[in-house]
Chain A
């Protein structure tokens, strides 16, 4: 390689690094603030982790704990107080219940639909598929109000059903899986039919295993979207704190009697974000495979 090429490559890397920093900076702030004390956060001092001086936290005392209990290092306090103040495990569990239920039902609906749209010949198939594409264009917020009214009429507001039901049919999932199934050779399906499988058996025993990469990609889209969703839970969970999903839980730390306490707030956000990041890292390789396969073929 010549020097010129190195410079060219250098430019590309410089731009990418700047992009990476821009993306990573909020995460850095989040982790840093979850470790520091309130004074350090407000005076923007202390670097990544702050001085970590043992101190007594006034908000804690005001809440009604003894001074002895409230004396510790800032990072301990932030995480301890986050869990003390809000039932974060409960929120996380709600998040898991809701996102998993949504994903499982979405798969149960999307796979047979996608199979029918990709591999079965029936009258009106192209029309149905064009309707699927059309539904991709409808923004969630546009239909939120009618959805809410329907759920309210059915008496489902403030239940898990309200969080789950509206998202069980994912047109994006149907579309994504249909595109993937188009690449599965017809002969494989014919072979399964000759072996005696029915159409549902083909979907679950032949198509599903071959579609694992695409399904994983869809899983990440779906789980991330519903784990992080604030808009919809905020609408349908009006009073019952036991049904709060993680993003609603974070809201607990905003305002209130003790003004904004950023340390515990950021600590709770870290707790809520980490499961997703871990899941993504585990699935990363497969995820990228799935995307390229479905996107390019």
Chain B
């Protein structure tokens, strides 16, 4: 079992409030990502779960047991750190053994030399060796066991750090931006490996990242945090399609969602630029923010009452997609439109284009940044 519940967690350092009354329930075997811009308090939250930091108020429950007063090492959690935090003076084998030796040997058995006289030590050493070998085979680091961390590449260190967390077979893994020190290609590769590892271990993962792409690709649920508040906790698809607020919509998705200034008239008809939406807003007579993702805009040849026009300021070719940064004609907005290379390869910087939206995809937000629903969906 590995359920973790956070109840009304608040944390402040001096007068600075870092976490603001958070409630999260993490299910057994779930891959939960805490995602948010840097400084949003996600790492602090992870450290509170780990027991490395004490919350100012609120409760942490692991397997329905309150662990507020339980030390980090006795919570049966394992943590993977951004800088890997391997012991630099120990070989990989000893790095993997360390958590087991500390857990399994008693104080006498840990003594140098005379500890070997303890009758039960041999048996324990045997089982430690087995666990280390099993883990290193799973992670394919068996041939690295006799090296020191300094002699390993970034990816190898990453695996060893994972291994050190795995050997203990903890109830949950806590990961603090474990991929951010790797180069781009390796990071993408490790994402899939971590997902596979999660599938085979079936243990709870709590994963902290500032990279929304990692959150979207790996997690079963993601919690978006901004400024110490939990804004939305849902599956990645739901967070992407149905963000609860403007900040979530802007944080999740790359390139960023386009925001237009618009209005709702007395009948709830929403308009922006020269375009009116078909669906009606539930709020009327107000200014609104209209969010449309780059892939929900298209560049077309003809112009009509449902299109608006602009000039291409910058063309970002990613091979599979081309993103056009377009200045809208009235000068109010700079937006990003996705184009498929086969249709848009001839469009160059400076050319003027007509843009059409894909219907039923716009998102409405009020002035406070909260989501506004459509009445007749």
| In the complex, per-residue mask of B55-95: 1 if CB is within 8 Å of any chain A CB, else 0 | 00000000000000000111001110111011111000000
| In the complex, per-residue mask of A49-78: 1 if CB is within 8 Å of any chain B CB, else 0 | 000000000000000000000000000000
Residue A183 interfacial (CB < 8 Å): no
C-alpha spacing A30/B124, complex, angstroms: 61
Which of B305-333 touch A at CB < 8 Å?
Answer: none
Residue B156 interfacial (CB < 8 Å): no
- Is A194 within 8 A of B102, CB to CB? no
- Is B72 within 8 A of A193, CB to CB? yes
Q: Please, which residues of chain A bring their CB within 8 A of the CB of B79?
A: 190-191, 194
Which of B73-130 touch A at CB < 8 Å?
Answer: 73-74, 77-79, 81-83, 85-89, 98-99, 102-103
C-alpha spacing A193/B99, complex, angstroms: 10
C-alpha spacing A209/B88, complex, angstroms: 8
C-alpha spacing A286/B78, complex, angstroms: 35
Q: Please, which residues of chain B bring their CB within 8 A of the CB of A209?
A: 87-89
Residue B50 interfacial (CB < 8 Å): yes
Q: Which of A191, A197, A201 lies in contact with B85, CB distance below 8 A? A: A191
Residue B52 interfacial (CB < 8 Å): yes
C-alpha spacing A193/B174, complex, angstroms: 14
Q: Closest A-chain residue to B82, C-beta based? A: A187
Residue A239 interfacial (CB < 8 Å): no
Q: Please, which residues of chain A bring their CB within 8 A of the CB of B83?
A: 185, 187-188
Q: Please, which residues of chain A bring their CB within 8 A of the CB of B50?
A: 190, 194
C-alpha spacing A188/B81, complex, angstroms: 9
Knowing A185-B83, A187-B81, A187-B82 touch, does A194 contact B89 (C-beta < 8 A)?
no
Q: DSSP class of A's interface residues: helix, strand, loop or mixed?
A: helix
- Is A193 within 8 A of B89, CB to CB? no
C-alpha spacing A229/B226, complex, angstroms: 61
Instruction: Point out which of B74, B102, B164 has the most chain A C-beta atoms below 10 A from its C-beta.
Output: B102
- Is A196 within 8 A of B99, CB to CB? yes
C-alpha spacing A188/B164, complex, angstroms: 13
Q: Closest A-chain residue to B168, C-beta based? A: A195
Q: Tell me, rounded to whole Å, the shortest Cβ–Cβ distance linking B106 to chain A.
A: 12
Which of A188-216 touch B at CB < 8 Å?
Answer: 188, 190-197, 201, 206, 209-210
Q: Please, which residues of chain A bring their CB within 8 A of the CB of B73?
A: 193-197
Q: Please, which residues of chain A bring their CB within 8 A of the CB of B82?
A: 187
- Is A187 within 8 A of B85, CB to CB? yes
Q: Closest A-chain residue to B73, C-beta based? A: A196
Q: Closest A-chain residue to B75, C-beta based? A: A194
Q: Tell me, rounded to whole Å, the shortest Cβ–Cβ distance linking B156 to chain A.
A: 17
- Is B77 within 8 A of A194, CB to CB? yes
- Is A194 within 8 A of B72, CB to CB? yes
Q: Closest B-chain residue to A206, C-beta based? A: B87
Q: Tell me, rounded to whole Å, the shortest Cβ–Cβ distance linking B6 to chain A.
A: 18
Instruction: Point out which of A188, A196, A197 has the most chain B C-beta atoms below 10 A from its C-beta.
Output: A196
Q: Closest A-chain residue to B88, C-beta based? A: A210
- Is B52 within 8 A of A193, CB to CB? yes
Q: Which of A187, A190, A197 lies in contact with B102, CB distance below 8 A? A: A197
Q: Please, which residues of chain A bring their CB within 8 A of the CB of B86?
A: 191
- Is A185 within 8 A of B85, CB to CB? yes
Q: Please, which residues of chain B bring their CB within 8 A of the CB of A210?
A: 88-89
C-alpha spacing A196/B98, complex, angstroms: 9
Knowing A206-B87, A209-B89 touch, does A195 contact B98 (C-beta < 8 A)?
yes
Q: Closest B-chain residue to A197, C-beta based? A: B102
- Is A195 within 8 A of B99, CB to CB? yes
Q: Closest B-chain residue to A208, C-beta based? A: B89
Q: Tell me, rounded to whole Å, the shortest Cβ–Cβ distance linking B15 to chain A.
A: 16
Q: Please, which residues of chain A bring their CB within 8 A of the CB of B98?
A: 195
Q: Please, which residues of chain B bring their CB within 8 A of the CB of A190?
A: 47, 50, 52, 72, 79, 81, 85
22 cross-chain CB contacts under 8 A: A185-B85, A187-B176, A190-B50, A190-B72, A190-B79, A190-B81, A191-B81, A191-B86, A191-B164, A192-B87, A193-B72, A193-B73, A194-B50, A194-B52, A194-B72, A194-B79, A196-B74, A196-B99, A196-B102, A196-B103, A206-B87, A209-B87
B interface residues (Cβ-Cβ under 8 A, vs A): 47, 50, 52, 72-74, 77-79, 81-83, 85-89, 98-99, 102-103, 164, 176
Top 3 A-B pairs, shortest CB-CB distance: A196-B73, A191-B85, A209-B89
